[in-house]
């Protein structure tokens, strides 16, 4: 059975919840009705009090279900999520730190809901602080799938601030007009669902991408995505066997792939034009010049491989070895850095049969090697 999850961010106006549910599930003018199995809300401690007092204790939500013959919608204290700081519930979003906590929790919840393959998620950005709505929309853009959707809610003007208005009732029910002695019949109210299209980025990220990991927070996501548009710097730490991009993102590489990247980096630092790939797969089919070139390449490569304190006498830089190791390097970088950043680090050719070169300025490459000049 497919799980349908309605996720909302709210502040001090819990009617956003019933208005959105009305527009999605029962509005007679909506030909494509969508009834959730669960309603999840992210709010503050004050917002939770409003939901509990007005929707639960006053029976508004229960009455809504009775009015429209709905059942089996889970919405209770367990699905009301409160933004916390060090275990304490936040009353409001009053600082930059509070907003970052809200962003992290929004990101976490939407990722959690969309990681469930059996779910469909609808996100409403109508309630709460404007920043909360933005974070919800941004998170859905990062993690949303084809079946997920997003909306905003608009209520007919007279009812927008009406006292005790929660949804258009199927019978006469009078509520107080804002700043007036006049009363309005909730049966005549209109609720408009504005579906919001959004860019879906989820499928551009492999399942092993860091942004798909559970320990990533909103600030980490932004930092990682922004790396793609920055000038790249590359640190190669030979001693610890890792690389670091822009002084922040690390990736561990196996010896052969690490040595290959070190080799390309060395060419760049020395100002060489690039490294021309070997040709020919079988010695018997190679010319003497091709075999001599492979011997020279192998000697160069082993200098860097030996720096990693690895010893493998079977290595020979043939076309197969070169292509295979370069392909594995690409996969390791994509897995740990993401496709976009990996593409900016991989050696490139300016044209067919031209040398491969790192697409990074030589002044942005640092090699740390504590093994050099040390007697082992």
Query: What percent of the chain lies above the pLDDT cut of 70?
Result: 90
Instruction: Identify the pLDDT of residue 208.
Output: 58
Write the pLDDT tens digit of every residue in 249-265: 889 999 999 999 999 99
pLDDT by residue (tens digit) across 23-35? 999 999 998 999 9
pLDDT at 307: 86
Ordered DSSP codes for 144-185:
--TT-EEEEEEE-GGGTT-BT--S--SS--EEEPTTSS-EEE
pLDDT at 287: 82
Domains of the chain: residue spans and CATH: 3-204 (3.40.50), 230-368 (no CATH)
Looking at per-residue confidence, does 324 or 375 come out higher?
Answer: 324
Q: At what angle do helices 218-227 and 96-115 cross, to 10 degrees?
A: 90
Q: Cα separation of 244 and 333, whole Å?
A: 11
Mean pLDDT of the chain: 88
How confident is the model at residue 202, as a pLDDT? Answer: 81
Q: What is the pLDDT of residues 31-65, one digit of tens each?
A: 899 999 999 999 999 999 999 999 999 999 999 99
Letter string b/e over residues 95-125, b meaning 16 or more CB atoms within 10 A of that residue's CB: eeebbbbbbbbbbbbbbebbeeeebbbbbbb
- Residue 256 is encoded by which pair of tokens? 């052969």
- Range in 41-50, 71-80, 266-275 with the lowest mean pLDDT: 266-275
Better pLDDT: 249 or 234? 234
pLDDT interval class at 375 (50, 70, 90): very low
Say how far apart CA 38 and CA 3 lie, in whole Å. Answer: 8
Residue 96 has pLDDT above 90, yes or no: no
In this structure, the dihedral spanned by the alpha carbons of residues 330, 333, 339 and 344, taken in order and rounded to 10 degrees, is -80
pTM for the complete prediction? 0.67
The token duo for 376 is 């082992």
Q: The dihedral of CA 81, 86, 90, 94: what is its sign?
A: negative
Residue 181 pLDDT: 83
- Contact at 8 Å (CB) between 150 and 121? no
Q: What is the mean pLDDT of the segment spanning 237-241?
A: 90
Q: Assess whether pLDDT exceeds 70 at residue 209.
A: no
User: For residue range 318-358, what is the model confidence (pLDDT) as tens digits?
Assistant: 999 999 999 999 999 988 887 778 888 999 998 878 999 99
| Neighbouring C-alpha atoms within 13 Å toward the C-beta of 3 | 13
Question: 317-323 contacts: CB < 8 A, separation 24 or more?
Answer: 317/278, 318/278, 318/280, 318/281, 318/294, 319/277, 319/278, 319/279, 319/280, 319/281, 320/281, 322/277, 322/278, 322/297, 323/277
Strand partners, 38: 5, 74
**Amino acid 133: pLDDT:** 93
Q: Are 147 and 61 in contact (CB under 8 A)?
A: no
- Predicted local distance difference test score (pLDDT) of residue 229: 65
Q: Is the pLDDT of residue 145 over 70?
A: yes
What pLDDT does 376 receive? 30
């Amino acid at each position: 059975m497919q799980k349908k999850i309605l996720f909302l961010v709210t502040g001090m106006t819990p009617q956003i919840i019933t208005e959105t549910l009305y527009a999605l599930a029962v509005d007679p003018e909506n030909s494509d009705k969508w009834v959730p199995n669960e309603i999840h809300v992210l709010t503050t401690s004050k917002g939770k009090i409003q939901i509990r007092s007005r929707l639960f204790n006053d029976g508004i939500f229960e009455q809504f279900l009775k009015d429209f013959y709905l059942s089996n919608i889970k919405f209770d204290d367990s699905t009301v999520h409160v933004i916390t700081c060090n275990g304490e519930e936040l009353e409001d979003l009053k600082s930059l730190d509070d907003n970052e906590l809200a962003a992290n929790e929004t990101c976490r919840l939407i990722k959690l809901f969309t990681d469930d393959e059996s779910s469909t998620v609808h996100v409403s950005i109508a309630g709460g602080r404007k920043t909360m709505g933005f974070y919800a929309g941004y998170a859905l853009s990062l993690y949303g799938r084809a079946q997920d959707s997003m909306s905003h809610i608009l209520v007919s003007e007279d009812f927008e601030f009406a006292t005790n208005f929660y949804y258009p009732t199927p019978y006469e029910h009078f509520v107080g007009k804002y700043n007036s002695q006049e009363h309005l019949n909730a049966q005549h109210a209109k609720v408009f669902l504005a579906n919001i299209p959004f860019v879906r980025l989820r499928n551009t990220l492999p399942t092993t991408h860091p942004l798909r990991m559970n320990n990533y927070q909103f600030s980490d996501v932004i930092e990682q995505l922004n790396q793609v548009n920055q000038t790249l710097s590359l640190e190669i730490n030979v001693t610890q066997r890792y690389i670091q991009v822009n002084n922040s993102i690390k990736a561990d590489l196996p010896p052969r792939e690490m040595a290959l990247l070190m080799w390309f980096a060395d060419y760049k630092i020395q100002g060489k034009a690039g490294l021309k790939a070997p040709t020919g797969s079988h010695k018997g089919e190679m010319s003497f010049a091709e075999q001599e070139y492979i011997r020279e390449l192998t000697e160069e490569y082993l200098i860097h491989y030996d720096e990693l304190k690895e010893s493998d006498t079977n290595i020979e830089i043939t076309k197969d070895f070169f292509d295979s190791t370069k392909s594995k390097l690409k996969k390791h970088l994509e897995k740990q850095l993401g496709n976009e950043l990996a593409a900016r680090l991989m050696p490139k050719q300016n044209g067919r049969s031209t040398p491969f070169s790192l697409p990074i300025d030589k002044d942005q490459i640092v090699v740390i090697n504590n093994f050099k000049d040390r007697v082992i």
